Amino acid sequence: MANYKTVTRMTDNGPFIVKLILELPVSVTGNDVNPDVFNVYTVRKEKNGEVLMRAERGAKKAFPSVGYRDVIKAYPCDEKGKKAYRSTYVALEMNEERLGKRIEGNVLASRYLLNEYRITQIKPIPGEEVDVTGLVFDTCIEDICPELIGWENGKSSHSTKPLNYGYFTPKNKDNKKLPLVIWLHGAGEGGDDPLVAYTGNRVTSFSNFDMQMKFGGAAYVLVPQSPTVWMDNGVEKLGKSNESIYSEPLKYLIDEFIKEHEDTIDSSRILITGISNGGFMTIRMLVDYPNFFAGACPGCTPYYVNNLGEKDIEILKDVPIWFTHAKKDELVDPYETSLPLYNMLKEAGNDNVHLSYLDEVIDPTGQYKDELGRPQKLFNHGVWIPMLDDAITLDFDGTRVIEGGESVTLYQWLGKQQLGVKREDKKAPEHSKFMIQL
């Protein structure tokens, strides 16, 4: 028996194991290995060791989440999985598919699983003197996930409601003041595992080079986690009260994080964004803490206009906000939330409020296609997919949003917001000289 490594990739559909790395007793080239040399069997287990029972969509009965995965590519690589001409390591690539998913859950809760593999050699591999046969790999010694480089976990010191959080620290060679981007997760990413909060919806995209450049070259990213859901008002968890028991503990966490990084966080560029349950909390925080956040991007927010407080519009009319919502949202009706709130803010004189009102949510990457080869239509509540791909560009009237004299995407726009700077004076942040951690 031998060891193997897994490689996890953060995708629009969550984290998937897409590669296995095996160490062979002989050195091989690309001519010596191919997808037919090994078969790959996997078992998805709960953390208590029980095999996950799952009913696929449309099925009436749950079955064990076990089976064989197809290997689509096999090649020599280094110990981290990078392709090489000759090596004792071999990488086995697999498609993004259910048996490779590392998270399981529903709209209200998600959890990481134990993905166990048994890789069996079924065809010989040429050796220097004799062919290699009979190899079996059944113990995982490492998971490699490049998107998690620079990410860590923490917990606030609040006396009654301490909150877990994940955060990304960029490299800042020039020791300059950097913006802080706060992401508030949806209902399905709450609980006691902060890793779920920033990987369930590929929030790690905020730490990639392209996204960091949209915030001037480098930005801190903070992802607090709610123990239940942000909409929990102490009586009901998913009501329409627009109240939350987590408002003060969340602000405490944010203030504590800023204090810990006070030399390098620009307090005039505290930016907040989130989706669904977190889209609600984004608005809640703007209302509860005026003149603190420089800009906000709430997605599919369940902040209901029927329960708007008297001060809500008065405060929000002065805050740069870019809403995103789909017309056919299955869970949050835009006619009760984003659409009338956007109209109210426009009428109140907010000249920097926008609404991307999507006909439907379609894969923006071209990676996922339907049976006719067209971009895949997705869950219409899932506006976080185009948001985190930064594919949101159009305002409510169908025109491009202009900021600082140029057309911008959602997060380019957010990166330009700053307290105390008049809109007509805003310019694009200068490209930073410091390098971010990749």
Tell me the per-residue pLDDT of 57-79, one tens digit each, with 9 for 90 and over: 767 889 999 999 999 999 999 99
Looking at residues 11-35, what average pLDDT do you find? Answer: 94
**Residue 372 scores a pLDDT above 50:** yes
Residues 278-298: tens digit of each pLDDT: 999 999 999 999 999 999 999
Which residue type, as a one-letter code, is found at position 147?
Answer: E
Tokens of 32: 């010596």
**Residue 419 scores a pLDDT above 80:** yes
**Residue 45 scores a pLDDT above 90:** yes
pLDDT score for 433? 36
**Residue 432 scores a pLDDT above 60:** no
**Residue 427 scores a pLDDT above 70:** no
Contacts by 210-215, CB closer than 8 A, 24 or more apart: 210/390, 211/390, 211/411, 212/170, 212/436, 213/431, 213/432, 214/390, 214/409, 214/411, 214/412, 214/414, 214/415, 215/178, 215/179, 215/181, 215/271, 215/411, 215/414, 215/415, 215/429
Contact 360, 383 (CB under 8 A): no
pLDDT score for 370? 82
Mean pLDDT of the chain: 92
Q: In what order do the strands lie in the sheet with 66-69?
A: 66-69, 38-45, 114-121, 136-144, 2-11, 14-29, 86-94, 71-77
Rounded Cα distance between 188 and 381, Å, is 13
More confident residue, 410 or 432: 410
DSSP three-state, residue 199: helix
Looking at residues 108-117, what average pLDDT do you find? Answer: 93
Residues 74-99: tens digit of each pLDDT: 999 999 999 999 999 999 999 999 99
Pairing status of strand 63-64 against strand 66-69: unpaired
**Residue 272 scores a pLDDT above 70:** yes
Residues 221-232: tens digit of each pLDDT: 999 999 999 999
Rounded Cα distance between 196 and 383, Å, is 18
Residues 147-196: tens digit of each pLDDT: 999 999 999 999 999 999 999 999 887 778 999 999 999 999 999 999 99
The model carries a pTM of 0.92
**Residue 349 scores a pLDDT above 90:** yes
**Residue 144 scores a pLDDT above 70:** yes
pLDDT score for 426? 52
**Residue 428 scores a pLDDT above 50:** no
**Residue 130 scores a pLDDT above 90:** no
Looking at residues 33-41, what average pLDDT do you find? Answer: 96
**Residue 429 scores a pLDDT above 80:** no
